[in-house]
Structure 1
């Protein structure tokens, strides 16, 4: 079990806000919501609620993943936003730096996933009882030993992008759960970033497109 040492700078970063919801930029290493252990009390949600006590978490990012996360400012908006996410009406884009160079410029990974209970929170591919899981990907650039990919999850399973990249033979650099030793050592953190969200505003019906700048850690040396 790794010691929980969440970053404190910036304390919280608001990318977008209005009277209906907030969109935050979560740093890698910070939980989306508090854990059961008192040592895991610090989280993006609890930090935001110190200034916006009405804010309610709509969806989550893995602790090691950075990027865009939405919090509603009322129960009614929370219900509407949750429905958008559940019905796959939110277009999500992630950027990942992975081990190696895919031979194709784009593709998809269609592999069913289920929790690996003896090793939770890890997930695994299971063709018999796994839930359908689909990820589309596009190659942005490559270096001698790694590639920057745009990942477009169609479904939203736990650890989906991380397991699908591992199954493709290109684990995400710095992944403490799924990367082999060389890929783990190749980055100081999991190089997975929730870079864009696009959806129809549940109150104004305006289509919003919000982006987050890629952290410096993703730059190839």
Structure 2
């Protein structure tokens, strides 16, 4: 057998079963099922002893992965992700437009998280998991849980509306300076507040508006549906649009700009923001 990878376990707060700890520590095996297969084949050693899923890891151990002549190679996604905040419990990352958060495709944010985030040292550490969704064409901030407890607590914060999200969009047409959109989505109560920060005259679209949006509920495609409902759809939207007013080739002008909440474990107030993409600034250079 040939040595493939080596991992040194950092100091841990509590011992943890190797089955839970091992996810994501090797570049060539990103999944729990892959680790199990490698252990069954006798390819993983802890301090020169064959590894078992039940062995407890406490810190300082040397874990080695070998490759046999017949072993398969696990494909690992190489995707650079910008990390704006991270601790042992959670992370906030930037999702570029045009990438799925999760799903059946190989290239997703979820598949790239383990390679870009530090493995949590906490006993209930798991493979990093997105807590909420952003549409494929939307850019912006995405909250990620790194432990079982964090995933549960962050989900509760979203459910209890204790996480404030702010979006920016460029909308089409003449628009009121501010307002509240109350329009049920899928027969469920939905609410969005909006404020127009600036407007410019457009030969093709009459007006283009830089709009600050704060969803009070979290329905699928809520912002896109709500702006279409008041006849001010988002520029570049090919799903929710007015006839004759589709912009091709530039993508959707919707950006998740800020996240604000109280950290469920450290109790510190978290506020993270991400500046507008360049395509927004080409239309509104002062922002």
CA distance in 1, matches of 2:85, 2:231: 36
Match of 1:190 in 2: 252
Q: Deviations over 1:73-127 (max 9, x none)?
A: 101011000100111100110000000131x21101100011xxxxxxxxxxxxx
Are residues 136 and 200 of structure 1, via their aligned partners in 2, closer, same or farther at CA, if it must alter by over 3 Å? Answer: same
Query: Paired residue for 1:28, among 97, 102, 127?
Result: 97
Q: How does 1:1-80 map to 2 (within 5 A)?
A: 11-35=80-104, 40-52=105-117, 54-80=127-153
Cα RMSD after superposing both structures: 1.8
Gaps (5+ residues) in structure 2? 1-76, 120-126, 202-206
TM-score by length of 1: 0.83
Match of 1:126 in 2: none
TM-score by length of 2: 0.64
Q: Deviations over 1:143-167 (max 9, x none)?
A: 0020000000000000000000000
Match of 2:240 in 1: 178
The number of aligned residues is 194
Q: What secondary structure does 1:29 align onto?
A: coil
1:93 equivalent in alignment to 2:162: no
Match of 1:143 in 2: 200
Q: Is the radius of gyration larger for structure 1 or structure 2?
A: 2
Q: Deviations over 1:12-43 (max 9, x none)?
A: 111111111110100010000123xxxx2210
The structure whose RCO (Cα within 8 Å, separation 6+) is larger is 1
Q: What secondary structure does 1:47 align onto?
A: helix
Q: Is the 8 A contact 2:190 2:219 kept in 1?
A: yes
CA distance in 2, matches of 1:45, 1:183: 34
Match of 2:279 in 1: 217
Q: What secondary structure does 1:163 align onto?
A: helix
CA distance in 2, matches of 1:83, 1:183: 39
Q: Is the 8 A contact 1:25 1:67 kept in 2?
A: yes
Q: What is the CA distance between 1:11 and its match in structure 2?
A: 2.3
